Structure 1
């Protein structure tokens, strides 16, 4: 087949990924929350299926029947479930449980849907001896303790790719968890895209919750973010946004095409395309294998936050919608942030709000977001705004993140004992 023309790929991204030229409708918001199941007695990550040990699949099936879920096969060799409200429960490669909520016209409706599933599921699993952790990385075990749980071709190929580039990225697949928020790009999509890419490091810092791995402090408030920085392989990061659509096209073309060929040689998509081995379907599938901090999908999928505890779900929604969905706040945030700085992702994950410069901008963003969210009629309830305000007061305005709570909870090292000489 003839190669896909650059002009056609640019137009495809403009139309479908960045939604340029689309008349903006009433804003909607969605979210995906990931939960890491661990045994309550040992802290070990729990598999999907086990013949002789605790596992999550039988329990999810039982819970789903009680709550009207519809089970169906997934492309990855294990079931998934459609919820009555349109959400989806599925598995991640290490057995993490993911709730992908439907998009809702208000944040309040989204929060209600998330909690209506997560809270009773958490209680049900706890009664069965499983804790569902809302943290960025499983804190007790190592990668060798968690086998790949999804046998489908996509994740087998991704595993092989990550092994071949040798960065330890399998931890990302099997031991990390995030809260991803999906927001519309609105009437000024390129400005919204630039602001979101500039915000990405601050979102990481504000919601960092994963400073512990193998039971020890890692030196990174978000060890999940550190794992993503190590992953590289040409498919992560954020963008300077000088020419957003062209930048994203170059990023996608340069990324190795995981779903093409026999996997023996990880060649960029551009090479496969030049040889006439890729059509529109292969292009669209390739885009799903890219994992930047902000992923354009006709809306923006914000992927920068560690998993967030259910009692704080309102905070990331307020932070993002409060800035994006109120035009004066969007412009004020753009002025405060300036151009996106991809290099800032490293200190944001390592130091989070312990970095004074990051903390100062994060605090300003939280204030702007609260103002913007309060100006969105009916989008957030008073309780939602109070919850977000409580989070920012407890953490952001004190230059703390949830990671600091986890570090504070670690046992203090035993003091050294000095013995006097005989």
Structure 2
């Protein structure tokens, strides 16, 4: 999610302020919440083309239509580029018009699924009025990069110019990918480190279970999660497996040091994004940013900078799980169920750590490199990723059962895992289902996905 910062905030003169900012995210277990984000491809129902921003059936019209449901507009240069509401939800736009809900911090997965259902009902109502559709997939299955309209957000122009200098697939990441993401809390530094290590190690398992992007420009691309592969050739300065997370000394300060070494993209001043791509935040703190001598950053500059790194798990004042492809609505609810089950119960967290704590950096890299292509069938140690997935799901089910969060019917949260259990037991990823349809009943066309995967 990205939106203009509301203020520059407290001036930053010392690294300790940045460490304290992260420390401020620590919460007692009673205050832990679940945040779920999901992106969707928007398209014209007749042509199947991605929607431009402008026009009677464009992205801007959808944002305008959403105002009837109580959303408040956030504008940039006069255009609505995001929405917010009193429930601490936001709707934002990714560079290619991917339509994202950033959900409220909620107590239970039952609330999460109600939020998703309400949002998709609102979107469907507005889209139905203008002849548009939305679907969940990890990568745009049909249209080349040149056919994707750019959204009118200043930060994206800076990123668009900088990305090709660092990797060959960065623009594809910006324009043609969608994800589901879960944001979770930690109690203190030690809890953050343990959750970071477990979730980073097991992120390829989520990638395999959610692998859902096997097509590029209408043809199979050789991957099960092409979206995941794209991050391997986007920008080595801000992507990757973060080996330091598994090293002694990992903590808030170590992550701050990592962020300070990541080159900047921009700063936000007087309603505009200023291009400082490639420059150093360390120099900024010292008042030595080229072109802005003597100026020092505010906390808003730091929080902006923290959104410009893209590892599989990202630390803010919470932990973001970033490894999953977009997908249909049942899998939107399944992703937070997977991670909440593993991370929010002590018994489950300990079991998950026991599962992966002996893995070497070579093991982590092997999983990161192989899973996007091979999915659940990736060989690993004495079995496959499917074996690990089944064990993770067993642990997650215990974690959710121990939480004992029940809905009005008396059901706990474990049933949200059922769709993932079915995938793992069948040893067949969503991508493999799509490929089977493509080679079978779809007769070599990806067009049916726009109907079958529509929300």
TM > 0.5 between the two?
yes
In the alignment, which residue of structure 2 is the partner of 1:138? 140
Would you say 1:60 and 2:63 are equivalent positions? Answer: yes
Alignment of 1:66-215 (within 5 A): 67-74=69-76, 77-126=79-128, 128-152=130-154, 154-186=155-187, 188-215=191-218
Taking a change above 3 Å as real, the CA distance of residues 170 and 96 of structure 1, as seen in their structure-2 partners, is same
Cα deviation for residue 128 of structure 1 reads 3.3
Q: Which moved more, 1:380-389 or 1:288-297?
A: 380-389
CA 1:4–1:393 in structure 2 vs 1: closer, same or farther (change >3 Å)?
closer
Contact kept? 1:208, 1:352, Cα under 8 Å: yes
RMSD, matched Cα: 2.7
Cα deviation, 1:345-375, whole Å, max 9, x if unaligned, reads 1212221112142221111111110111111
2 CA distance for matches of 1:119 and 1:39?
A: 18
Matched ranges for 1:20-419 at <5 A = 23-50=28-55, 54-65=57-68, 67-74=69-76, 77-126=79-128, 128-152=130-154, 154-186=155-187, 188-240=191-243, 241=245, 242=247, 243-245=249-251, 247-259=254-266, 263=275, 266-273=278-285, 276-277=288-289, 278-281=296-299, 282-338=301-357, 339=359, 341-356=364-379, 357-378=384-405, 382=411, 384-389=413-418, 391-411=419-439
Following the alignment from structure 2 to structure 1, what is the Cα–Cα distance between the partners of residues 76 and 275? 22
Aligned with 1:252: secondary structure? helix
> Any stretches of 5+ residues in structure 1 without a counterpart?
415-422
Unaligned stretches of 5+ residues in structure 2: 1-10, 268-272, 290-295, 445-455
Q: Could you tell me the TM-score, scaled by structure 1's length?
A: 0.87
By how many angstroms is 1:15 displaced? 3.2
Question: What's the secondary structure of 1:209's corresponding residue?
Answer: coil
Distance of aligned partners of 1:151 and 1:248 in 2 relative to their CA distance in 1, 3 Å threshold: same
Q: Is the 8 A contact 1:40 1:126 kept in 2?
A: no
**Is the alpha carbon distance of 1:42 and 1:317 closer, same or farther for their aligned partners in structure 2, counting shifts above 3 Å?**
same
TM-score normalized with structure 2 length: 0.81
Does the C-alpha gap of structure 1 residues 62 and 273 become closer, same or farther in structure 2, counting only changes over 3 Å?
Answer: closer
